[in-house]
Amino acid sequence: MPKISRRASQTPSSKIRRVFNKSLGHDDWVKFTVGEPDFDTDQTIIEAAYQAALMGNTHYVHNAGIFPLRQQLAKKFYEDQHLTVNPETELMVTNGGTEAIYLALQAIVEPGDEVIMPGPQWTPYPMLTTLNHGKAVICKVHEKDGFQYTEENLRRSITPNSRILILNSPCNPTGGMAGRSTLEMVAKVAKEFDLWVLSDEVYEKLVYDGNEHISIASLPEMKERTIIINSFSKSYAMTGWRVGFMMAPAALMQVMVKLHELETSCCNVPAQYAALAALNMDQVVTGRMLEQYAKRREILVKGLNRISGVSCVPPKGTFYAFANVKELGVPSDELVERMMDEVGLAVVPGTAFGEDGEGFLRFSFAVSEKTIEEGLERFETFVKSLR
């Protein structure tokens, strides 16, 4: 067979997929693996896509996305974060947040440039960095610091090759959120070392206990060095529609729009109209989902903390609980394999998010309360069997 690129073929496959694939076909298993809402996309959104297609919106559009959607996104940025964003030059609609991250890395990274990211981190960050010829530099974050960067850790990760700093708040997998003081510290460091900040805010709407999502771009002099990544996937239960969006300074955006044209031309057009409808509809729909997540979070976190040898700090945002299982004395990967084989319970090992995730398990609570109760029972049975 002709050759395949080493860079591409050596990209590891994700451990989340591995667990997910192993659990396929086991309908009697309890599964906490998937990172996607279990709610259906709201009817209003589906209807808007259908109507848009019937009206002939089935052709290529501007590479950066349909203008009414960009205008509405600019309004959203102003209302949510007091950010003034030019919809003509600073916004783009992408094929999910994933493509937006890829575009940013492609547009900025030169071979050997370093991209700083938290450890544990969302699995694709290091892979996307390597694919774009960059070097992933993992800055270990700790449970005792709410899984946030500290000034000391961050400064230790910086070298003359540092180019981008990834901030993910609310964070997958830890559920941690950066408060104002952390953001101010990150902003200070980014300015001092002239770094771009790639701020992944896809879970911005899924926050609990009155926590407030603050975009680092809203801090003084930060908009000019921040790329915001966002998506309709999690806020509106639209993972399969593949609509994300990004904000960046005009000069960088111009380059990214060009790359986006080469890669996908534009985001699926009826899906862009669906996204527009999502922004225009009564936001109570997202609020209702959030209420459900909040209830599930409570049941799951309480249940985990009741199990001897397991502890779980309540996540401030996202729909993931990151349970500390260090006291069980078994590596996370082994725990996960055995849990599947012995009690039919599928969760994601912390190591799916880099080696700093060792000693943790990620439970997605985008599942029903009944599933959570059943899963907790199985988990407790399994933990007791270890003694």
Residues within the interface to ligand PLP (CB under 6 A):
35, 96-98, 122, 168, 172, 200, 202, 231, 233, 239, 244
Closest to ligand PLP by CB, 360 vs 382, is: 360
As measured in angstroms, the least distance from the Cβ of 203 to ligand PLP is 7
The beta-strand segments (E) located in 144-301 are 162-168, 196-200, 226-231, 244-247
Report d(CA 251, CA 232) in Å as an integer: 25
Closest to ligand PLP by CB, 141 vs 343, is: 141
Minimal CA–CA distance to 372: which of 295, 291, 290, 285?
295
Closest to ligand PLP by CB, 81 vs 168, is: 168
Closest to ligand PLP by CB, 173 vs 375, is: 173
As measured in angstroms, the least distance from the Cβ of 122 to ligand PLP is 4
Report d(CA 76, CA 236) in Å as an integer: 14
> Dihedral, CA atoms, 209, 187, 166, 62, nearest 10 degrees?
90
As measured in angstroms, the least distance from the Cβ of 334 to ligand PLP is 25
As measured in angstroms, the least distance from the Cβ of 202 to ligand PLP is 4
Q: How many CB atoms lie within 10 A of CB 314?
A: 15
Please, what's the b/e burial string for 363-375 (b: 16 or more CB within 10 A of its CB; e: otherwise)? bbbbbeeebbeeb
Cis peptide before 170 (omega within 30 of 0): yes
As measured in angstroms, the least distance from the Cβ of 314 to ligand PLP is 19
Size of the chain in residues: 387
Q: Closest residue (Cβ) to ligand PLP?
A: 96
Residue 155 CA to chain centroid, in angstroms?
24
Closest to ligand PLP by CB, 120 vs 359, is: 120
Closest to ligand PLP by CB, 96 vs 134, is: 96
Closest to ligand PLP by CB, 29 vs 122, is: 122
As measured in angstroms, the least distance from the Cβ of 217 to ligand PLP is 16
The beta-strand segments (E) located in the chain are 30-31, 91-94, 114-119, 135-140, 162-168, 196-200, 226-231, 244-247, 320-324, 345-346, 348-349, 360-364
3-state secondary structure of 93: strand
As measured in angstroms, the least distance from the Cβ of 165 to ligand PLP is 15
